[in-house]
Amino acid sequence: MDLVKSLIIAASGMRAQGERIRVVAENLANSNSLGLNPDEDPYRRKTISFKNSLDRELGVNLVEVARIQPDKSGFGTKFDPAHPAANEDGYVKTPNVNSLVEAMDIKEAQRSYEANLAVIENARAMLMRTVELLRN
């Protein structure tokens, strides 16, 4: 039944967006994590990408996490000569995490998660209505 397939597809979307939210939360939690010495890099932001995955048994495309990888963009710097990770010029490398970008990313993931949840709720209601009609 196509409604059951809709439930499975939406559930895969919820799993993927849940993983995306976890990655963004990790980035935000480590946005101030600096190195301990001048040779050590601070926290490097992570990015997530998705892929389609064919479920041959059901004949539907599901969404899956393709990979979680470090963001290769450069680190920021701040002047703090008293910090143990400061270089000879007094600058400390800071994580490449932008809180505004992360906030927008988590908002988008939340909305996608909620959209998939609405699909599940509607498909469930339609299935329940079909069962009620068959009983009568």
Give the pLDDT confidence of 23-72 residue by residue, as tens digits.
999 999 999 999 999 899 999 999 999 999 998 988 899 999 999 999 99
The answer on pLDDT for 1 being more than 90 is: no
Nearest-angstrom CA–CA distance, 59 and 53 = 10
Phi-psi region of 59 (alpha: psi -120 to 50; beta: other; left: phi over 0): left
In a domain, 88, yes or no: no
Q: Does residue 122 form part of some domain? A: yes
Euclidean distance between CA atoms 136 and 132, whole angstroms: 7
Name the pTM for this structure. Answer: 0.86
Token couple for 1: 């039944």
Kindly state whether residue 66 falls inside one of the protein's structural domains.
Answer: yes
Range(s) of the domain holding residue 117? 2-35+44-73+98-135
Tell me whether residue 84 is in a domain: no
Q: How many folded domains does the chain comprise?
A: 1
